[in-house]
Structures are given as structure tokens and as C-alpha cells.
Amino acid sequence: MSDQNPTPSQNDPLPKVWDENARIGDMLKGKRGLVVGVANGDSIAFGCAAKLRAFGADIALTYLNDKAKPHVEPLARQIDADVLLPLDVMQPGQMQAVFDHLKAHWGTLDFVIHSIAFAPKNDLHGRIVDCSQAGFLQAMQVSCHSFIEMAHLAEPMMNPGGALITMSYYGADKVVRNYNMMGPVKSALESSVRYMAHELGERDIRVFAVSPGPLRTRAASGIGHFDELIDMAVSRSPGRRLVDIAEVGRVVAFLVGGGATGMTGDVIYVDAGLHNVA
């Protein structure tokens, strides 16, 4: 479950999530933020970055490594991202370097979008009771603790009213077949959101988890029998459909903007109502 190794051809057309609305307003004009997790044009992180930029925000993007850079760089150009930096959260010092660069470049931040998750395939596809300690700790480090670390580094730079947002999934709250060890990991992430919202509230920093339904992203493709999960979501959701990354991005833009100042610590579902169906 990872966007670690994007695979689209370099000749593939750029996605239309940005082109469909170019500039749709200045609701976020003057706001600046970091979006982590873009691997290709299907990434939830790119849907968020494109919509935030469309509403006027200045965007910094990261890419995992040299192999990923050719896939992310055209997307950064497409949305006119202000900054593009390498970030592998498993590499000591890289996250600190990103925030040091942003402090020198911008001075302050208004939002951080954390959209990364990883679990070793052998552990993810097996039972929780059989997963290795190393695999579980790696999944927690990338998928949960990295968000906590980003919040720690972002806090001194955050403007009042700022927002820290991560991505979760319904499997954090209910048992979802084949989601396996990522369920406890995402549950820890959602609990961290609530505690961080409590701790950072006095600084007027808001914290959220956004929980999309299953999407055909590269990260999700690592889940066993993923097509079955997709079919289940379509058949059970009230709208009989999946959401797309642009819909997730619009919700994130709302949370970053002034309309959500009275909200914090929440898990926001963007799954066409799937989580409401027994």
C-alpha cells in the first residue's frame, strides 16, 4: 500500500483534474502550504494540490526519490507549484530539510496535507496476528508517525487558523476485508488527529483526517483483492459510485479555507455516503 514507485509512462497525458477548472477563485489567495504524497496524476495528494492551487493557494510539493521525480515534476509544472523538494520520511533529516527550506522560502505556513501510507506487502496481505514487528513499525512510521512529525515541524511556522490534514479510510473504524494491518495503523492515525487537535487548539491550529472511499490510486493497489473492495463500494454506496480525487480536493480546500474555522479534530468522510451503510 504505497505510492513509492509510480509507473505511468512518461508519454501519458497529464491528468485533467487541474485543467477542468483552471482558476476557480481566490478563496485561498495568500495561503501557502505543503502537500506530501503526490506520486502520479491519480494520487489523492494531487487532487488536493490541484484544487488548493485552483482556489488560489501557493503550493509546495514533494517527491519520494529520483525515480519518482520525473512523474511528479510535470504535475508540479502543471499547477505552477512554488516549490518541489525530495522527501522520503524514512530517511533521517529529509523532513527537517523540507521544513527548513519552506521556512527560508516562505517564513510561514497555512496548511500541511499528509497523504502517504505504506505497509510491506507480505505483512499487508497476511493476518494481523501474523504480521512482523518490523513491518508493523514501518507501516506506523510512514502512515502515522510521519504526520505527527510534520505537525511538530510545522507548528512554529503555522499562521493562526492553519490546518493539518491527513488521509484515512473507513477500515480504521470497522473491519474491512483485506485491509488487514492498515486498519490498526489508520485507527492510530485518527486517534492522533484528535489528540493533536486538542493540543494545538490553543495555537488556533486545526487538525483533520479526511476519509475517502476506495479510489484507484497506486497506494490502494497494494491491498489484496482490491477490485472486490471497489465493487462493494459501488454496490453499497447511496450514489452507487466512487468519489474522485477532485471531490476529495474540494473538501480539503474547504477545510483549509475560512468556512471550516469552527471545526477541528474530525474525521471527514468523502465516500459518497458508503460509511453510513451497514
User: Residues with catalytic annotation?
Assistant: 169, 179
What are the backbone angles phi and psi of residue 219, rounded to the nearest 5°? -60, -45
| Of 13, 74, 12, nearest in space to 49 by CA | 74
What are the backbone angles phi and psi of residue 143, rounded to the nearest 5°? -90, -25
Per-residue cell: 21: 477548472
Per-residue cell: 222: 497494494
Q: Could you give the CA distance from residue 210 to residue 219 in angstroms, rounded to a whole number? A: 16
Burial of 25 from C-beta contacts in 10 A (0-12 / 13-18 / 19+): exposed
| Of 154, 85, 74, nearest in space to 113 by CA | 154
Asked whether the beta carbons of 179 and 169 are under 8 A apart, the reply is yes
Q: Could you give the CA distance from residue 157 to residue 150 in angstroms, rounded to a whole number? A: 11
Asked whether the beta carbons of 251 and 270 are under 8 A apart, the reply is yes
Q: Could you give the CA distance from residue 144 to residue 141 in angstroms, rounded to a whole number? A: 6
What are the backbone angles phi and psi of residue 198, rounded to the nearest 5°? -65, -45
